[in-house]
Amino acid sequence: MVSFDFSGKNVVVTGASRGIGRAVAIKMAEAGARVLVHFQKNKKAAAETLRLMSQPKRGSHFALRADLADPAAIREMVDEIDKEFEKVDILVNNAGIFEPQAIDMNFDDWADAWQNTINVNLMGAVHLTYHIARRMVKSGGGKIVNVSSRGAFRGEPDHPAYGASKAALNAFGQSMAVKLAPDNVQVFTLAPGFVETDMAEDFLKGDTGEAILKQYPGGKVASPEEVANAVCYFASQGQEMASGAILDLNGASYLRS
């Protein structure tokens, strides 16, 4: 088992009610952090994340609802975070949506799907990073980990807005890594392939499941815990020189030069 130490750290994890976000929140709590569990809709699932984090000596964790597509809602969430955390040490921009877009859709549906995806997957992370990074600079530093996707590189023909949003998130993270380096704030990006989450379940267990597994020479996709280990690795002390890096985490299913 990989071991980490986040004792005394305050952590914000978006999309933490399930999947990768839940695994990150639990692992960081186990390592001593105090964690904000962000969720957008599923309060019951967020409560379950908190329950799984509520073992003795894991600190006082809490959950907040916010629509990351709404800049005003992000500002309100940050105001609530300020009431709980004296500072934020680690931000994990994990929340994302995966809506289909096809050129045979009517234009209004096409435009809405693109706008929704960009607003959540890209602009939500952009606006939250704006608020949290400013606080990190004032408090002497911090770490930001963005969860992207291999789709940013290989393309997403049935979900082009998703691929485009993640490619933009990659560029945003690298830009911020350069900009924030003098202020001791490091920014990292992970690009997983398919992960065994609720969002991917229909693809992995449906008609496309066999074809997806054939993309993976190891015959399996990642677990949320494997991705959480990588998030925690970047967020740990001693990995500062990896700032600006984009780590492929796709089991050699897609290799890029």
**Cβ of 244: how many Cβ atoms within 10 Å?**
16
CA end-to-end distance (rounded Å), the chain: 31
Q: With beta carbons less than 8 A apart as the criterion, state whether 37 and 50 touch.
A: yes
Packing angle, helices 19-30 and 43-52, rounded to 10: 30
Residues paired with 63 in a beta bridge: 37
Q: What is the dihedral of CA 207, 152, 256, 158, to 10 degrees?
A: 30
Is 254 a known active-site residue? no
Cα–Cα distances (Å) from 250 to 148, 153, 156, 163, 205, in that order, read 12, 12, 15, 15, 18
Q: Choosing from 162, 216, 233, 254, which is the catalytic residue?
A: 162
Taking phi first (over 0 means left), then psi (-120 to 50 degrees means alpha), and beta for anything else, what does residue 184 get? Answer: left
In the block, tokens 């130490």 appear at 5
Three-class SS state of 109: helix
User: What's the DSSP call for residue 221?
Assistant: P
Active site members: 162
